[in-house]
A and B are shown apart, each in its own frame.
With several copies, the nearest count.
Chain A
Amino acid sequence: MLLARRTEERLIRLYHQGRIFGGVYAGIGQEAIGAATTLNSRPEDLFSPLIRDMTVHIGRGETVLNIFRQYLGRATGPTGGRDGNVHYGNLSLGVLTMVSHLGAMLPVIVGAVIARRRRGSESIGFAYFGDGASSTGDFHEALNFASVMDVPVVFVLENNQYAYSTPVSRQYRCRNLADRAVGYGMEGYRVDGNDAVGLYLFVQRLSRKIRHEARPVLLECETMRMRGHGEHDDFSYVPKSLLRKFSRRDPIVRAVKTLVEAGVISEEDFSALDGECRQEVDRAYRRALAEPEPDPATLEEGVYAPRGNDLS
């Protein structure tokens, strides 16, 4: 969580200094969700993060270096500069690379989990998406498909109160989005998405259960987008009171408090960790910056996979 926070903070600064091309979309305030889920996963599990899920990438072992390479469009990055900012993944870490179309990754991860299980693994999936994405047809088709086909995917709905400028009151009219689960014959829960420790324990039980039962589940995590939709957006449409309320529930502050109180770590441990994170971010940024941009001569290469490419 902390490493993700520090990375995003740096990306935000770089964006406002005009040093990031494209855009920056931050998940600040939502870090508990990716952390609690990846910490409960096994190597064979699959993930489809969206734009606010840096903790999923980091939780699965992606390096901060690769993340800066990606944002800086370097040839060395996960997409080699062919795609930008949040559109990266790493299949060897079980992380799919998103497309922008909201909802469109949900059937993909369902298919991916089907494949892994047919090939003999006990893989389960974690699919992340927002309150806005819950209005797309793909959300519906994917949840129903997963249910009918008995595919164990945790549909992690990050309800952060807004889809771009649109508040949840104009996005849906059910009480909670978790209420949709019954319509798919799956279990649905609404939980506090800013309580990392509580979420960790909850997902621990949940993931064991669905791995065993091979059933999907809808997990609505209540949280808040603490920045604009992207850094170009001043989010003046968000009431200050809402931001204040959620800044009192900052997932990192809360987690540290719980862990310190429980005697798991000390304040000093935390400061030391923070220092390391900042250093790692610094180092990674500087290194990525020094690396080359993609060579325009490669533009038309790799549109099609060559025959004989290993398909396994």
Chain B
Amino acid sequence: MRREEMTYLEAIRDGLRHALRDDPRVVVFGEDVGRFGGAFKLTAGLQEEFGEERVFDTPVSESAILGGAVGMGLCGLLPVAELQFVDFGMTAFHQILANAGTTYYRTANPVPITVRAPCGGGFGGGPFHSEDLEALFSHVPGVKVVYPAFPSDARGLIYSAIFDPNPVIFLENKYLYRRVKQLLSEQFEPEDLGAARVCRDGDDAVVITYGAMVHEALQAADELTAEQGYDVMVLDLRTLKPYDRDAVLAAAAATNRVMVVHEAWRTCGYGAEIVAFVAEQVFHLLDAPPVRVTAPDVPIPFAPSLEAAYRPSVGKIKRELLNLIEY
């Protein structure tokens, strides 16, 4: 079997390409996604390959994009809408909360849409191009939320998201776009939504995380093993809503020490959900208080010196892991 090396970004493009090839109902649209290939060039080449009917630009109108996707999904297409940055989706959050989230429950008509949204910081994007808003989307009934960390997952999950009969918010991490590479089989395999994955084994503690922080957690774990001999499990959630309860509980049970790491704000962040769930369900199995490592409740700062302090780092994760393990 031939294998190609792909970045996270290329893998998502490849997933889109497979979906576009496999089903004529799939359409890809958003601001600048056509000939230009999108702000990150993620959709580069798709319009050329599939034509302007399948891959097209829209005006700067997030509510028209998201509401339009709902209408397309209701009437026979499988739309994939791109938000240029997740931040700008907040101008039309009601389309997610009201139209996308409630329509199937109220009418039994499925809304099979996918919303792709680049997230996260670490590149000097400042307060309005670096947000991680998974907690907001995950609070909405009726939508699914996916946030991959690896090219192979990204490719398989975008494909499954497109063919899922529900609205899926597909969060992509900009920091990973060109930084993470993997050898992927040429033969394409979809990846089921909903399953977490242990991407590093260990029994001294577990870091439950997703997106860019999976990589920071893995590095922190490796360094801890090298430096202190501790073995830390890393659980990549991959799907944030509905999340893999069994995997979370199994990881907690196997390690008795739980840390959640994310790049988003702390208060009412996604980590609160996981920590609360673990505390409720397997309280008696925990040997130490669960820990959240997150960004502080601060608008995302621009200057490198500030952003470095803002974003959870390998060093910070290691320190907190040591505290947790040696509690």
Please give the residue numbers on chain A whose beta carbons come within 8 Å of chain B beta carbons, in ascending order: 21-23, 46, 73-75, 78-85, 87, 89, 91, 96-97, 99-116, 118-119, 132-133, 135-138, 141-142, 144-145, 148-149, 163-166, 170-172, 237, 293-296, 298-300, 302-309, 311-312
From B27, B99, B141, residue with most partner A Cβ within 10 Å: B99
B91 touches A138 (CB 8 A): yes
| CB-based contact B27/A305 at 8 Å | no
Stretch among B2-10, B76-84, B178-186, B286-294 lining the A interface = B76-84
B253 CB to nearest chain A CB (Å): 26
Rounded to whole Å, the gap between the CB of B22 and the closest CB of chain A is 13
Query: Chain B contacts of A80 at CB under 8 A?
Result: 108
Q: Is the CB of B72 within 8 A of A303?
A: no
B-side contacts of A84, CB under 8 Å:
124, 126, 302-303
Contact in complex: A302, B67 (CB < 8 Å):
no
B5-62 interface with A by 8 A CB criterion: 25, 27, 31-32, 35-36, 39, 53, 57-62
* Contact status B298-A115, CB under 8 Å: no
Binary contact track B88-124/A, C-beta < 8 Å → 1, others 0: 1011101100110011111111111000000000001
Contacts of B144 in A (CB 8 A): 304
- Additional A-B contact list (12), CB under 8 Å, known A82-B303, A87-B128, A104-B95: A22-B124, A83-B126, A107-B64, A107-B66, A108-B67, A108-B99, A109-B71, A119-B76, A144-B59, A300-B298, A307-B165, A311-B76
Query: A294-B306, A311-B112 are contacts. A87–B74 as well, Cβ < 8 Å?
Result: no
> Footprint of A on B, CB under 8 Å?
25, 27, 31-32, 35-36, 39, 53, 57-79, 85, 87-88, 90-92, 94-95, 98-99, 102-112, 124-129, 141-142, 144, 164-166, 242, 296-299, 301-306, 308-310
Which residues does chain A contribute within 8 Å of B127, judged by CB atoms? 82-83, 87, 99
Contact A172 B59 (CB under 8 A): yes
Q: Can you list 8 pairs linking A and B with CB atoms under 8 Å apart?
A: A22-B126, A100-B128, A101-B128, A107-B95, A109-B71, A111-B75, A115-B77, A299-B301
Taken together as a complex, chains A and B put the C-alpha atoms of A104 and B87 apart, in Å, by: 12
CB-nearest residue of chain B relative to A170?
B57
Whether A116 lies near B75 (C-beta < 8 A) is yes
Q: Taking A91-B109, A116-B76 as contacts, is the C-beta distance between A303 and B299 under 8 angstroms?
A: yes
Most buried by A among B77, B78, B128, B302: B302
How far does the alpha carbon of A106 sit from the alpha carbon of B60 in the complex, in Å? 15
**What is the CA–CA distance of A277 and B85 in the complex, to the nearest angstrom?**
37
Among B99, B302, B305, contact of A296 (Cβ-Cβ < 8 Å)? B305
Closest to B242 in A: A304
Q: Please judge, given known A-B contacts A100-B128, A107-B95, whether A166 and B32 are in contact too, CB under 8 Å.
A: yes
Q: For the complex, what is the distance from the CA of A307 to the CA of B192, rounded to whole Å? A: 11
Q: Taking the nearest CB of chain B, how far is it from the CB of A86, in angstroms?
A: 10
Residues on the A chain within 8 Å of B73, using CB: 111, 115
In the complex, are the beta carbons of B302 and A104 less than 8 A apart? no
Contact assessment for B296 and A299 in the assembled complex, using a CB-CB cutoff below 8 Å: yes
Kindly state the separation between the CA atoms of A137 and B61 in the bound complex, as whole angstroms: 7
> Separation in Å of the B99 CB from the closest CB of chain A?
6
Contact, CB under 8 Å: B70 / A108: yes
**From residue B18, how far is it (CB to closest CB) to chain A in Å?**
17
Give, as a whole number of angstroms, the nearest-CB distance from A101 to chain B.
5
Shortest CB distance A255–B (Å): 31
Q: Are B59 and A148 in contact (CB under 8 A)?
A: yes
Q: Please tell me if the beta carbons of B35 and A165 are within 8 angstroms of each other in the complex.
A: yes
A312 touches B70 (CB 8 A): no
Q: Which residues of A are found within 8 Å of B72, using beta-carbon distances?
A: 111-112, 114-115
The distance from the CB of A188 to the nearest CB of chain B, in whole angstroms, is 19
- Complex CA distance for A99 and B100, rounded to whole angstroms: 10
Does B71 lie within 8 Å of A107, measured CB to CB?
Answer: yes
Question: When the two chains form their complex, are residues A166 and B57 in contact, meaning their CB atoms are under 8 A apart?
Answer: yes
Closest-CB distance, A112 to chain B (whole angstroms): 4
Closest to B124 in A: A22
Q: In the complex, A308 Cα to B91 Cα: how many Å?
A: 33
A residues in contact with B124, CB < 8 Å = 21-23, 84
Instruction: Determine if A111 and B68 form an interchain contact, defined as CB atoms under 8 angstroms apart.
Output: yes
Q: Which residue of A lies closest to B54 (CB)?
A: A118
The interface residues of chain B lying within 8 Å CB-to-CB of A300 are 296, 298
CA distance A311 to B25 in the complex (A): 10
A87, B126: Cβ atoms closer than 8 Å: yes
Q: In the complex, what residues of A have CB within 8 A of residue B110's CB?
A: 305, 309, 311
Q: Does B299 lie within 8 Å of A170, measured CB to CB?
A: no
B71 touches A79 (CB 8 A): no
Q: How far apart sit A136 and B62, CA to CA, in the bound complex (Å)? A: 8
Task: Output the least CB separation between B52 and chain A (Å).
Answer: 10
Interface centre among A85, A136, A304 (most CB of B within 10 A): A304
Q: How far is the CA of A107 from the CA of B92 in the complex (A)?
A: 11
Complex Cα–Cα for A165 and B110 (A): 34
